[in-house]
Amino acid sequence: KRSVEETRHLSEMADAASPNLPTLALADGTLILWSLLSKEFPEYVVEDLLVNGYLKYLGKIQNLNTKDRQVALASYISYPGSTDVVNTLRLLYCPYEPADCTSRCDQLPNGKRPCDILSGVTDSMLFEHILKPGERSALFASSSSILEKYYGEHRVYFYYLKTSEEIARVELPGWTARSGELLSLSHSLILEQCRLGHGYPVSLSEAHEQAVVSGQDRRIFNQLVEEMLTESKINPSSSAKSLSKKTRWV
């Protein structure tokens, strides 16, 4: 729900930006709502949050693009631990043709499979040795099942970017990734943001500062929840440890 509201606000900000300037709508974290893959969520929840919410607002940002206006969308993932690219390299170490992990190696323990030579290696480790500062990798497409089923033209692509401080993962919807101008716009503006923010996008740093939840905010929230539970005749009791965290002792 938070991701939907953040994206709605991002679409409104992008719409309000000057149409005369190329614009980058930059989000924090992944564009893939992985949590909705859980079987705990019924289909109507996925439809409401993803299709009629999150993806609708991505579409609004996409529709801001015209012949005379450029609006790119990207998300920035700091210090990523993903292994999408490394996993494709496992094929180089597979002695079987065709590669079939289920029938060939499913019974083997971790560390005993031929491709386990790459275990523990992340994409960021790989590109740390390949990219020079300011460079980005080639473009890759994510193969998550939720993208296949729901995302359509918003299907997520990604590249790795070497900033002055780290290897970051930048995710893009298909309509940004497939446009040479929007792709380059994302690359150049994120680099500039990282330069201004000493290695991390300054706009995201400022957004984080505005989104801080204070101790007073938490206490008010907990009080409201307990009042609603009490009105519904539900016992709002919690553990002694939880209670101690909410109580000022000094």
Q: Which of 115, 122, 127, 126 is nearest to 90 (CA)?
A: 115
Percent residues over pLDDT 70 in the chain: 94
The Cβ of residue 12 has, within 10 Å, a number of other Cβ atoms equal to: 12
Q: Clarify whether residues 73 and 176 are in a common domain.
A: yes
Whether residue 8 is contained in a domain is answered as: yes
Give yes or no: residues 139 and 153 share one domain. Answer: yes
Q: Give residue 230's region: left, alpha or beta (phi > 0; psi -120 to 50).
A: alpha
Which stretch of DSSP H or E encloses residue 143? Answer: none
- 72 and 153, same domain (yes or no): yes
Q: What is the mean pLDDT of the chain?
A: 90
Residues 74, 50 share a domain? yes
Together in a domain, 28 and 69: yes
Q: Where are the alpha helices (DSSP H) in the chain?
A: 2-16, 43-46, 55-62, 84-89, 101-105, 123-128, 145-146, 174-177, 180-196, 202-210, 215-231, 240-246
Q: Domain for residue 102, yes or no?
A: yes
What span, in angstroms and rounded, lies between the C-alpha atoms of 204 and 28?
Answer: 7
Task: Render pLDDT for 203-218 as a digit per residue (tens, 0 to 9).
Answer: 999 988 887 778 888 8
Calculate what percentage of the chain has a pLDDT beyond 90: 62
User: Does residue 116 belong to any structural domain of this protein?
Assistant: yes
Both 16 and 88 in a single domain?
no
The model's pLDDT over 33-71, given as tens digits with 9 standing for 90+, comes to: 988 887 788 899 999 999 999 999 999 999 999 999 999
100 and 116 together in one domain: yes
Is the domain of 233 the same as that of 114? no
> 188 in a domain, yes or no?
yes
Distance CA 184, CA 210 (A): 29
Whether 75 and 147 share a structural domain: yes
Examine the domain organization and report whether 76 and 172 are in the same domain.
yes
What's the number of domains the chain is made of?
Answer: 3
Q: Please give the model's pTM, rounded to 2 decimal places.
A: 0.83
Q: Is-contact 171 156, C-beta < 8 A?
A: yes
Domain for residue 126, yes or no?
no
Q: Is residue 147 part of a domain?
A: yes
Domain that holds residue 87: 83-121
Q: Same domain for 69 and 135?
A: yes
pLDDT band at 241 (very low <50, low <70, confident <90, very high): very low
- Asked, for residue 226, whether it belongs to a domain, the answer is yes
Show Cβ contacts of residue 128 under 8 Å, excluding neighbours closer than 6 positions. Answer: 162, 167
- In the predicted structure, residue 248 carries a pLDDT above the cut 70: no
Q: Is residue 136 part of a domain?
A: yes
Residues 30 and 57 in one domain: yes
Tens of pLDDT, residue by residue over 93-139, are 888 888 888 777 888 887 788 888 888 899 999 999 999 999 999 99
Other residues' Cβ atoms within 10 Å of the Cβ of residue 217: 10
